[in-house]
Amino acid sequence: MMGILIPSPILRPVTFLLIAFFCLNLSFALHEDQVGVADWHHQYLGKVKQAVFHTQKTGRKRVIVLTEENVIASLDLRRGGIFWRHLLGNNDQIDHIDIALGK
């Protein structure tokens, strides 16, 4: 007579963890039509007050921007992305930006 196979007491927690892991993994799935609709992280710059263009010897074309929202950032002009971004404090004031090229 064939009976139902009951896992040993050692395998029960392992089986439970595997099932929980697979269920958890499915709950974090993102459908293709939801991409860009409910993203969790965006880096914004704001309205630009001043911009300084800079081309490095390696051929990288960048622009350093200062915004009304107290953000200073370096933008990659070839790829359109943010190379780096820094949000200044409310009491930090910058009147002018310039690039000093060192040797």
* pLDDT tens-digit readout, 2-27: 556 666 777 777 788 878 777 665 55
- pLDDT tens, residue by residue, 66-79: 998 889 999 988 88
Cβ–Cβ under 8 Å, residues 78 and 61: yes
Does the pLDDT value for residue 47 go beyond 60?
yes
The pLDDT of 57-86, averaged and rounded, is 86
